[in-house]
């Protein structure tokens, strides 16, 4: 598995600092909001980030899950958003959502989800991502909380996959292009 990694882009220490910093910002912004805060973990890629982030938030929150795809197999975006698993809640008007993503590429997934949850009546919807590839943007979208901007390279690890592999690496690394024929 490690042989397929060109270089480490974000190591465990950096990830730890990022989750601490974002958790502090979220705490400042929501600790006294008076509404329920729900982190929506976007399966499968953001499980690791959501777990680490939520442990550093020191006030009551809930978590929920959605499964969405914009990518087909491989490394290029399909451009269509499919919701495979949706939240089942009746209390959206009482909820501040933060949608937690592993990475933003075209921006389609998160801009679609913000619109979708807002239209269903959420009190508020913000977005949080560990990684952002701003060069790849197709739709105009800026996350509210962002760990680190990265260059236009295909990365894996810490939840991110290539064809379902590499999610269990503890760091984010650049995948060697020969692995995906790039
Ligand atoms: P967007 O809708 O184009 O912003 O796509 C975001 C989704 O694409 C992420 O949740 C990932 O599943 C996937 N993705 C984008 N870039 C990468 C990458 O470098 N490695 C792994 N998955 C990626
Ligand atoms: Mg994803």
**Number of the ligand 1 atom closest to the C-alpha atom of 68:** 10
Helices (H), 42-103: 47-54
**Number of the ligand 1 atom closest to the C-alpha atom of 133:** 16
pLDDT at 73: 47
| Distance of alpha carbon 61 from alpha carbon 139, whole angstroms | 30
Angle ∠(104,168,16) on CA atoms, nearest 5: 65
For residue 179, being part of any structural domain is answered with: no
- Beta strands 62-71; 77-85: pairing state: antiparallel
Residue 70: give its domain's CATH number. 3.40.50.2020
- Please name which ligand lies nearest the alpha carbon of 157: 1
Distance from residue 160's CA to the centre of ligand 2 (Å): 7
H/E element holding 99? Answer: strand 95-104
pLDDT for 51-96, tens place per residue? 999 999 999 999 999 999 875 545 665 678 999 999 999 999 999 9
Q: How many domains does the chain have?
A: 1
pLDDT for 27-62, tens place per residue? 999 999 999 999 999 999 999 999 999 999 999 999
For residue 95, being part of any structural domain is answered with: yes
Domain range for 124: 12-151
* CA dihedral for 74, 100, 42, 161, sign (positive or negative): positive
Q: In this structure, which residue's CA is closest to atom 11 in ligand 1?
A: 103
pLDDT for 124-164, tens place per residue? 999 999 999 999 999 999 999 999 999 999 999 999 999 99
For residue 165, being part of any structural domain is answered with: no
For residue 27, being part of any structural domain is answered with: yes
For residue 180, being part of any structural domain is answered with: no
pTM for the model:
0.95
- Provide residues with CB under 6 Å of ligand 1: 45, 70-71, 77, 101-109, 154-156, 160
């Amino acid at each position: 598995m490690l042989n397929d990694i060109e270089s480490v882009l974000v190591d465990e220490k950096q990830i730890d600092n990022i989750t601490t910093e974002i958790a502090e910002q979220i705490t400042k912004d929501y600790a006294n909001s008076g509404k329920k805060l729900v982190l929506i973990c976007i399966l499968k890629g953001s499980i690791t980030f959501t777990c680490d982030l939520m442990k550093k938030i020191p006030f009551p929150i809930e978590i929920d899950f959605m499964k969405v795809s914009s990518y087909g197999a491989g490394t290029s975006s399909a451009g269509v958003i499919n919701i495979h698993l949706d939240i089942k809640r009746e209390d959206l008007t009482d909820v501040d959502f933060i949608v937690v993503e592993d990475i933003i590429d075209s921006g389609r997934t998160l801009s679609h989800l913000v619109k979708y949850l807002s239209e269903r009546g959420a009190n508020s919807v913000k977005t949080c991502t560990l990684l952002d590839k701003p060069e790849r943007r197709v739709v105009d979208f800026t996350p509210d909380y962002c760990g680190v901007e990265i260059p236009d390279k295909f990365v894996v690890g810490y939840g991110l996959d290539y064809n379902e592999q590499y999610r269990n690496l503890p760091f984010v690394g650049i995948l060697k292009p020969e692995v995906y024929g790039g």
